């Protein structure tokens, strides 16, 4: 017993309760506390069985992830949970684990070391360690196949998805679902099993006989495809395979070896960084936790195009009634048809019920007028990109909307303050910049204007959460965080083809780096015309004499807008499969010749470095200027909005891992060769590289400074 784990008595049943908020992670003191409580109860003649449960909102969400960093840095020794779990399993009195909330990672491993498991109907179990770049390290890969069977254990350990109570019961991971009061149900269950010899999970072998080489082959293939580049899923498969070939103790030893290989890897550091980055992102230093959040009961969206339709679905998905307005019936019908088709596809995939779809559609009201806008708590604008139109729309809605109504623009690049200036409530105006497809992508940049109120920001953050999005605060600078950084990245990709790399080289190098798709493939997907229009709008900002990419505009002039027209940087068949386009290749050569650009063979390493370091350099500027609050926020933007490989932690974490000195040296070389206008190193990068600092160190310094 200690301050984290206590014991109480329900007649002859001892109830051991863990109280380590917020998620009862197995931090220092928790395993020891459980151990000592179980030992006390085991020695107490008045106790016939023991229940272990979590106090507060959950059972045990796993090992304390913060401790891993200390182990890797050598600050703390690695301490195995295995002996502690064996002691639970060897307890002579039945130990019943009572699960509510989540039993994740080490939490499920503790539960499986108990003799029985009961569960609340809404609880989840899982081995999500792979999402942190590690594998279960406390015999999860050895006990789970003994309970759930080999195929399911491989799936759970390699892919990390949680499982609900019903499925866990059907598979034998848990023994009973307790409706109603969990403590009472668990105590009653414990009384039923008291006096019987407690079954030990590690001694069960029946389900291990299901092992079949094909299970592992299939899982490896799937991991190579869906977790491309990641080591942990393959290690997890190997560890479960070991359970089917080795006795329990030897299997645990193999698991421990594989665990250590994963733990001491950059991938796990990157993924753990991503975990904490995602949780830090909603904290805005000057917006206190208790800032009043207004309730969003009704919403309205203007524009039912690509983005407006997706944004409308986001509101409906969150259960918020929403009006969507267009100017013409045809556009409105098209938008609604897209929404219906989207939902119908989700139903077809089995991810939504027909009733669920109907319910969501019922929440959406299509309109050609502003009728009903006077009741909205938030109005989201998603009309064409253009300052004049945005101002006209904001002036109109400002007249109609309630004074407390938030007005959010989905603009990609425009100045939110200028948009706000036409309203009488600049404090309620901000950017809600979604990413396409808006109903799928989890990122939402919340753009803070000069006058935006703290309440509007706090409400937006809460709304993002309600929509199951990740809200990231961005300053009001052209392109905000993500698109601003994308500019130099795409610029370099285009320069590289002009200088001699093929389209396939550029796409392939970044795909191999881990990006979901190469930069030119991404441009083809988004539509080359989007950038073409933006370049025309911002032409006046181009500095004379500074090199700009030349090919994309020429492609657009030829009507080649990318996938939507079947041709862009690549050629696309009816299934949108890309192939080499000799015409593009010829055009690139011609453009380079006309511009006097020398062509040469370019290595993949140069392609990756020029594109990614361009991203990093602009990221350093964004951070230095305060457009992003933290380097880790930038990583969250790139991981969730641009499919940057999670196991590389995001561009800023990646730069730290490469070493800022190396990044700076390369940028300085390019600056000498391609000119300072293109490659002047960001002041913050220079400062950190010279002082031996890192972006994550910069974040820590800022956090301490408040």
DSSP H or E stretch at residue 152? helix 150-159
Residue 120 sits in the site that holds ligand 3HC (CB under 6 A): no
The region of 103-111, 195-203, 358-366, 437-445 touching ligand 3HC under the rule CB under 6 A is 103-111
Count of residues binding ligand 3HC (CB under 6 A)?
23
The region of 72-80, 408-416, 440-448, 656-664 touching ligand NAI under the rule CB under 6 A is 408-416
Residue 439 sits in the site that holds ligand NAI (CB under 6 A): no
Task: Look at residue 128 and give the partner it binds from ligand 3HC, ligand NAI, none, a contact being a CB closer than 5 to 8 Å depending on partner kind.
Answer: ligand 3HC
Q: Which of 129, 241, 326, 504 is catalytic?
A: 129
Structure-block tokens of residue 666:
């390369």
Minimum CB distance to ligand NAI, residue 155 (Å): 34
Please indicate whether residue 67 is annotated as part of the active site.
Answer: no
Minimum CB distance to ligand NAI, residue 430 (Å): 14
3-state secondary structure of 60: strand
Give the contacts of 382 (CB within 8 A, at least 6 positions apart). Answer: 301, 302, 303, 305, 307, 308, 311, 410
Q: Which is nearer to ligand 3HC, 105 or 310 (CB)?
A: 105
Determine the Cα–Cα distance for residues 325 and 568; give it in Å rounded to an integer.
Answer: 32
Task: Look at residue 383 and give the partner it binds from ligand NAI, ligand 3HC, none, a contact being a CB closer than 5 to 8 Å depending on partner kind.
Answer: ligand NAI
Minimum CB distance to ligand 3HC, residue 134 (Å): 6
232 to 291, contacts with ligand 3HC by CB under 6 A?
279
Q: Which is nearer to ligand 3HC, 465 or 554 (CB)?
A: 465
Determine the Cα–Cα distance for residues 589 and 597; give it in Å rounded to an integer.
Answer: 9
Q: Which is nearer to ligand NAI, 60 or 393 (CB)?
A: 393
- The reply to whether omega before 437 is within 30° of 0 (cis) is yes
Q: Candidates 4, 16, 132, 622: give the one binding ligand 3HC (CB under 6 A).
A: 132
Determine the Cα–Cα distance for residues 128 and 157; give it in Å rounded to an integer.
Answer: 7
Q: Which is nearer to ligand NAI, 412 or 523 (CB)?
A: 412
Task: Look at residue 308 and give the partner it binds from ligand 3HC, ligand NAI, none, a contact being a CB closer than 5 to 8 Å depending on partner kind.
Answer: ligand NAI
Q: Which is nearer to ligand 3HC, 104 or 189 (CB)?
A: 104
Q: Which is nearer to ligand 3HC, 31 or 568 (CB)?
A: 31
Q: Are 441 and 470 in contact (CB under 8 A)?
A: no
**Concatenated DSSP letters of 282-329:** T--TTS-TT--------EEEE--SHHHHHHHHHHHHTT--EEEE-SSH
526 Rama sector, left if φ>0, alpha if ψ -120 to 50, beta otherwise: alpha
Determine the Cα–Cα distance for residues 294 and 283; give it in Å rounded to an integer.
Answer: 17
Please indicate whether residue 109 is annotated as part of the active site.
Answer: yes
Minimal CB distance residue for ligand NAI? 305
Nearest to 300, CA basis, from 239, 221, 375: 375
Q: Candidates 4, 13, 23, 318: give the one binding ligand 3HC (CB under 6 A).
A: 23
Residue 45 sits in the site that holds ligand 3HC (CB under 6 A): no
Q: Which of 109, 155, 278, 609 is catalytic?
A: 109
Determine the Cα–Cα distance for residues 505 and 56; give it in Å rounded to an integer.
Answer: 53
3-state secondary structure of 369: coil
Minimum CB distance to ligand NAI, residue 534 (Å): 8
Task: Look at residue 382 and give the partner it binds from ligand NAI, ligand 3HC, none, a contact being a CB closer than 5 to 8 Å depending on partner kind.
Answer: ligand NAI
Residue 431 sits in the site that holds ligand 3HC (CB under 6 A): no
Phi, psi angles (nearest 5°) of residue 269: -60, -40
Minimum CB distance to ligand NAI, residue 293 (Å): 25
Residue 63 sits in the site that holds ligand 3HC (CB under 6 A): yes
Structure-block tokens of residue 480:
């905000």
294 to 333, contacts with ligand NAI by CB under 6 A?
302-308, 325-327, 331
Nearest to 165, CA basis, from 127, 121, 126: 121
Residue 679 sits in the site that holds ligand 3HC (CB under 6 A): no
- Alpha-carbon Rg for the chain, nearest whole angstrom, is 28
Q: Are 20 and 57 in contact (CB under 8 A)?
A: no
Residue 664 sits in the site that holds ligand NAI (CB under 6 A): no
Residue 525 sits in the site that holds ligand NAI (CB under 6 A): no
300 Rama sector, left if φ>0, alpha if ψ -120 to 50, beta otherwise: beta
Q: Are 599 and 500 in contact (CB under 8 A)?
A: yes
Q: Are 119 and 100 in contact (CB under 8 A)?
A: yes
The region of 124-132, 297-305, 586-594, 621-629 touching ligand 3HC under the rule CB under 6 A is 124-132
Determine the Cα–Cα distance for residues 442 and 166; give it in Å rounded to an integer.
Answer: 28
- The reply to whether omega before 22 is within 30° of 0 (cis) is yes
Task: Look at residue 441 and give the partner it binds from ligand 3HC, ligand NAI, none, a contact being a CB closer than 5 to 8 Å depending on partner kind.
Answer: none
Task: Look at residue 307 and give the partner it binds from ligand 3HC, ligand NAI, none, a contact being a CB closer than 5 to 8 Å depending on partner kind.
Answer: ligand NAI
Q: Which residues are catalytic?
A: 109, 129
Which residues in this chain contact ligand 3HC in the complex, by CB under 6 A?
Answer: 22-23, 25, 61-66, 81, 102, 104-106, 109, 128-129, 132, 136-138, 140, 279
Where do contacts with ligand NAI occur on this chain (CB under 6 A)? 302-308, 325-327, 331, 382-385, 389, 393, 410-412, 433-436, 526
């Amino acid at each position: 017993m200690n301050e984290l784990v206590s014991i109480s008595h329900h007649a002859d049943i001892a109830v051991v309760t863990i109280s380590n908020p917020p998620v009862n992670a197995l931090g220092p003191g928790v395993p020891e506390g459980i151990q000592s409580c179980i030992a006390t109860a085991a020695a107490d003649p008045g106790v016939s069985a023991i229940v272990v449960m979590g106090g507060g909102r959950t059972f045990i969400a796993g090992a304390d992830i913060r401790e891993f960093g200390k182990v890797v840095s050598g600050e703390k020794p690695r301490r195995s949970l295995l002996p502690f779990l064996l002691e639970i399993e060897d307890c002579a009195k039945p130990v019943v684990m009572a699960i509510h909330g989540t039993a994740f990672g080490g939490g499920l491993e503790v539960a499986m070391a108990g003799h029985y498991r009961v569960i609340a109907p809404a609880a989840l179990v899982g081995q999500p360690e792979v999402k942190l770049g590690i594998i279960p390290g406390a015999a999860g890969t050895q006990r789970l196949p003994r309970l759930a069977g080999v195929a399911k254990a491989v799936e759970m350990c390699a892919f990390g998805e949680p499982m609900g109570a019903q499925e866990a019961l059907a598979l034998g991971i848990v023994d009973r679902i307790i409706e109603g009061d969990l403590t009472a149900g668990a105590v009653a269950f414990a009384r039923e099993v008291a006096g019987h010899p407690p079954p030990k999970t590690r001694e069960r072998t029946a389900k291990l006989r299901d092992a079949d080489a094909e299970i592992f082959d299939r899982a490896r293939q799937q991991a190579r495809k869906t977790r491309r580049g990641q080591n942990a899923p393959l290690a997890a498969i190997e560890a479960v395979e070991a359970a089917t070939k080795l006795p329990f103790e030897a299997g645990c030893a193999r698991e421990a070896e594989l665990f250590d290989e994963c733990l001491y890897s950059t991938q796990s550091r990157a993924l753990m960084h991503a975990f904490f980055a995602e949780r830090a992102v909603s904290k805005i230093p000057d917006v206190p936790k208790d800032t009043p959040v207004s309730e969003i009961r009704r919403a309205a969206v203007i524009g039912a195009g690509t983005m407006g339709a997706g944004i409308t679905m986001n509101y409906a998905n969150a259960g918020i009634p929403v009006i969507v307005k267009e100017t013409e019936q045809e556009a409105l019908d098209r938008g609604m048809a897209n929404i219906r088709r989207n939902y119908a596809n989700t139903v077809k995939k089995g991810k939504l019920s027909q009733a669920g779809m109907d319910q969501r559609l019922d929440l959406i009201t299509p309109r050609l007028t502003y009728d009903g806008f006077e009741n909205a708590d938030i109005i989201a604008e998603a009309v064409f990109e253009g300052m004049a139109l945005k101002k006209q729309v904001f002036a109109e809605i400002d007249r109609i909307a309630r004074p407390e109504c938030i007005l959010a623009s989905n603009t990609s690049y425009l100045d939110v303050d200028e948009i706000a200036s036409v309203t009488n409530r600049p404090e309620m105006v901000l950017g809600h910049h979604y990413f396409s497809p808006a109903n799928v992508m989890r990122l939402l940049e919340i753009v803070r204007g000069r006058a935006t109120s703290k309440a509007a920001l706090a409400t937006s953050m809460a709304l993002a959460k309600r929509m199951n999005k990740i809200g990231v605060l961005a300053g009001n600078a052209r392109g905000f965080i993500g698109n601003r950084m994308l500019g130099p990245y795409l610029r370099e990709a285009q320069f590289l083809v002009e200088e001699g790399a093929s389209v396939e080289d550029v796409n392939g190098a970044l795909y191999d780096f881990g990006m979901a798709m190469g930069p030119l493939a991404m441009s083809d997907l988004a539509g080359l015309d989007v950038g073409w229009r933006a370049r025309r709008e911002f032409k006046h900002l181009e500095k004379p004499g500074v090199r700009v990419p030349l090919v994309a505009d020429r492609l657009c002039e030829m009507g080649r807008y990318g996938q939507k027209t079947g041709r862009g940087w690549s050629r696309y068949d009816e299934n949108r499969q890309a192939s080499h386009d000799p015409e593009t290749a010829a055009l690139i050569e011609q453009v380079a010749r006309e511009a006097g650009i020398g062509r040469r063979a370019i290595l993949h390493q140069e392609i990756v470095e020029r594109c990614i370091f361009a991203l990093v350099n602009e990221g350093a500027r964004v951070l230095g200027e305060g457009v992003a609050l933290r380097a880790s926020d930038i990583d969250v933007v790139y991981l969730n909005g641009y499919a940057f490989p999670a196991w590389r932690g995001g561009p800023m974490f990646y730069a730290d891992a490469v070493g800022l000195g190396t990044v700076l040296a390369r940028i300085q070389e390019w600056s000498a060769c391609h000119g300072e206008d293109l490659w002047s190193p960001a002041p913050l990068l220079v400062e950190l590289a010279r002082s031996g600092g890192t972006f994550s160190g910069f974040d820590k310094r800022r956090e301490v400074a408040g």
